[in-house]
Amino acid sequence: MKLLIHGGFFSESSQSIETKLVKQQAMSQIIRDAYVYLKEHTAKQTVVYAVKLLEDNPLFNAGIGSQIQRDGIIRMSASLMDGKTKKFSGVINIQQIKNPIEVVSCLQEVDDRVLGGEGANTFAQHIGTESYSTEIPQRRKEYEEKLAATGIGTVGCVAIDAHGNLAAATSTGGKGFEIPGRISDSATVAGNYANGECAVSCTGVGEDIVSGALAAKIVTRVTDGIEIKSAFEKSFLELEEFDGFAGAIGIDKNGAMYWQESHPQIVFAAYDGLELTVFQ
Ligand code: GLY
């Protein structure tokens, strides 16, 4: 059993050393809690659990603490892919809820598994999700100063459970100050993908991640027999052609973990029950 989580990119320009330390501590606690959960649950259940903990923490740009879009409204996106069933589910630009990943988890059980905008909002209401504002004063301040673009962040988790099943989940508050209606990578197979061979979750600039088809490309390469490190390196090399801004975490069916970033510094943690690594 192993898992990795990421908390998006750390922006030196907008955050202090204190924030960096607090984020590292939060990552350590969340990955430890998620690992305890993984002992009794599947990879799919665990990635949802871990992403929910990240969404609940205002330090990260997902759920509480999400970025505000150009029109002053928060719209969030999230997705889940179960490597066992190969089912992908997602919500795009959902509003006024605390945990987009929980709605995504419910969508695994229905035929129409990716919902956007009003359809996603209506589905969330239909399953009894309470209305909740995820805005925090810091994001409103950034919005008012039109500095929201410094907050490139997303959260994600990849896990392998005791039965060797893989899963990936990703959730985001977006780039910040984007045009309403913009689609994030986080609820696409470019930002979040898993099968029986590999699971990958991405963070960074959604347009670059989609242009690079990043998560799906890495997973496909591993599926075709390329080792995870080489699959990451080749896919990130292809991002360089257009200076793509992205980071990703991944795990394969043998438990090999890998992560890479095209620009500094993705915030992530890895844990196998023995060794805990937190990078920033
Ligand atoms: N990676 C998050 C976004 O661009 O929306």
| Predicted local distance difference test score (pLDDT) of residue 151 | 56
Substitution site in 184, 202, 214 for ligand 1 pocket (most atoms within 8 Å of beta carbon): 184
Q: Could you tell me if the CB of 93 is within 6 A of ligand 1? A: no
Q: Which tens digits make up the pLDDT trace of 26-71? A: 999 999 999 999 999 999 999 999 999 999 999 999 999 999 999 9
Q: Which tens digits make up the pLDDT trace of 241-251? A: 999 999 999 99
Q: Label residue 111 by pLDDT band (50, 70, 90).
A: very high
The dihedral sign for the CA sequence 173, 179, 185, 188: positive
d(CA 104, ligand 1 centre) in Å: 17
Model pLDDT for residues 2-28, shown as the tens digit of each residue: 999 999 886 544 556 667 788 889 999
The protein residue whose alpha carbon is closest to atom 4 in ligand 1 is 206
Chain segment 156-191, per-residue pLDDT in tens = 999 999 999 999 999 999 988 899 999 999 999 999
With pLDDT > 70 as the criterion, what percentage of the chain qualifies? 94
The mean pLDDT of 80-99, rounded to a whole number, is 98
Query: Per the residue annotation, which of 154, 172, 188, 203 is the catalytic one?
Result: 154
CA of 69 from ligand 1 middle (Å) equals: 12
Q: Which of 70, 175, 192 to mutate to test the pocket of ligand 1 (most atoms within 8 A of CB)?
A: 175
Residue ranges of alpha helices (H) inside the chain are: 17-38, 43-56, 100-107, 117-126, 137-144, 206-211, 214-223, 228-240
Name 270's Cβ contacts closer than 8 Å, sequence gap at least 6. 2, 3, 4, 31, 249, 257, 259, 276, 277
Closest CA to 129 of 156, 100, 172, 88: 100
Q: Distance from the CA of 79 to the center of ligand 1, in angstroms? A: 12
The answer for 47, left when phi > 0, alpha when psi is -120 to 50, beta otherwise, is alpha
CATH code (residue 125): 3.60.20.30
Task: Please write down the long-range contacts of 40-45, taking CB distance under 8 Å and 24 or more positions apart.
Answer: 41/161, 42/84, 42/161, 42/163, 42/165, 42/167, 43/82, 43/83, 43/84, 43/159, 43/160, 43/161, 43/165, 43/166, 43/167, 43/199, 44/80, 44/82, 44/84, 44/108, 44/165, 44/167
pLDDT of residue 12: 43
Our answer on whether the CB atom of 61 is closer than 6 Å to any ligand 1 atom is: no
Q: Which residues pair with 200 in a beta bridge?
A: 193, 250
Residue 80 structural domain: 2-279
DSSP classification of residue 129:
P
Structure tokens at 155: 């959260």
Q: What is the pLDDT of residue 265?
A: 81
Question: What span, in angstroms and rounded, lies between the C-alpha atoms of 237 and 243?
Answer: 10
Per-residue HEC secondary structure of 58-104 comes to CCCCCCCCCCCCCCCCCCEEEEEEECCCCEEEEEEEECCCCCHHHHH
Task: Confirm if 160 and 181 have CB atoms less than 8 A apart.
Answer: no
Instruction: Give residue for tokens 């209401």.
Output: 125
Which strand ranges, in their side-by-side order, compose the sheet holding 192-194? 192-194, 198-204, 246-252, 257-261
Identify any residues that bridge with 203 across adjacent strands, giving them in sequence order. Answer: 247
Angle at 208 between CA 230 and CA 115, to 5 degrees: 105
Across the chain, what does the average pLDDT equal?
A: 93
What's the rounded mean pLDDT across residues 199-217?
97
pLDDT computed for residue 14 by the predictor: 52
* C-beta 121 within 6 A of ligand 1: no
- Decide if 223 is catalytic: no
Number of domains the chain is built from: 1
**pLDDT for residue 13:** 43
pLDDT in tens, 218-235: 999 999 999 999 999 999
203 C-alpha to center of ligand 1: Å? 6
